[in-house]
């Protein structure tokens, strides 16, 4: 197995580096006080350090399902699986779709590309503009693969944000062909927060 590029990127960073490659957040923005209070709360109850079922703590899964319901996706706690970061989640998905063809944006996120490659997925890339993926090429490719991996909000590495129109076109293709869409959305919540903050 080849060494991951992400490992190399992160190993080459020291305290003087402002890394755009590794995408390190500004430490001044870490909500230290909130995290300190949350940690103290965790240690008030010894049960929090106990083993739990491997799908994740039921109350957390319930809470996450509630979040998706609020967004308009009917979701039960049993639909949620807690993983150790996104890399484990992507690995489980890639294992499930092993050796299949998949549409990815060009360029795409290194961490996902690595696990797809490791699991024998055959990636077909479709060009990405700043308002989203080229939708006709997406439709042409997706009609065959019925599987795609997209990052619609502040894409990594390009930073692009899908327009409403592009989102509708992608959704239309997915519904038409009845396939799967793997949406990687680590930055969507930041955007919602930013909009709310500027509206206030
Ligand atoms: C598109 C995308 N997915 C996943 C991740 C990693 O997310 P996490 O830190 O939650 O594992 C990143 C971080 O760079 C990313 O840009």
Structural tokens at position 195: 């909009």
Q: What pLDDT score does 25 carry?
A: 80
CA distances from 130 to 29, 109, 134, 153, 168 (A): 26, 15, 10, 11, 16
Query: Whole-prediction pTM value?
Result: 0.87
Asked if pLDDT for residue 200 goes beyond 60, the answer is: no
Give me the number of domains the chain comprises: 2
Domain limits for position 123 = 90-195
138 CA to centre of ligand 1 in angstroms: 23
User: What are the two backbone dihedrals, phi and then psi, of residue 98, each rounded to the nearest 5 degrees?
Assistant: -40, 135
Q: Do 185 and 94 share a structural domain?
A: yes
Q: Do 139 and 57 share a structural domain?
A: no
Q: Do 147 and 96 share a structural domain?
A: yes
Structural tokens at position 152: 């619609």
Which protein residues touch ligand 1 with a CB less than 6 Å away?
Answer: 23, 85-87, 109, 111, 151, 156, 184, 186
3-state secondary structure of 5: helix
pLDDT tens per residue, range 153-167: 999 999 899 999 999
CA distances from 96 to 44, 89, 125, 166, 174 (A): 39, 11, 20, 27, 19
């Amino acid at each position: 197995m080849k060494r991951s590029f992400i490992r190399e990127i992160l190993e080459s960073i020291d305290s003087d580096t402002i890394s755009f490659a590794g995408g390190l957040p500004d430490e001044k923005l870490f909500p230290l006080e909130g995290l300190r209070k949350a940690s103290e709360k965790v240690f008030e109850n010894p049960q929090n350090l106990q083993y739990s079922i491997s799908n994740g703590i039921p109350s957390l899964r319930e809470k996450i399902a509630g979040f998706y319901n609020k967004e308009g996706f009917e979701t039960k706690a049993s639909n949620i699986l807690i993983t150790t970061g996104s890399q484990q989640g992507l690995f489980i998905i890639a294992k499930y779709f092993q050796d299949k063809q998949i549409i990815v944006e060009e360029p795409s996120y290194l961490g996902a590309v690595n696990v797809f490659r490791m699991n024998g997925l055959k990636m077909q890339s479709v060009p990405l503009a700043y308002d989203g993926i080229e939708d006709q090429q997406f439709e042409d490719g997706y009609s065959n693969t019925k599987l795609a991996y997209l990052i619609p909000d502040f894409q990594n590495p390009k930073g692009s944000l899908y327009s409403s129109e592009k989102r509708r076109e992608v959704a239309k293709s997915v519904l038409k062909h009845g396939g799967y869409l793997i949406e990687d959305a680590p930055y969507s919540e930041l955007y919602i927060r930013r909009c709310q903050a500027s509206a206030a």
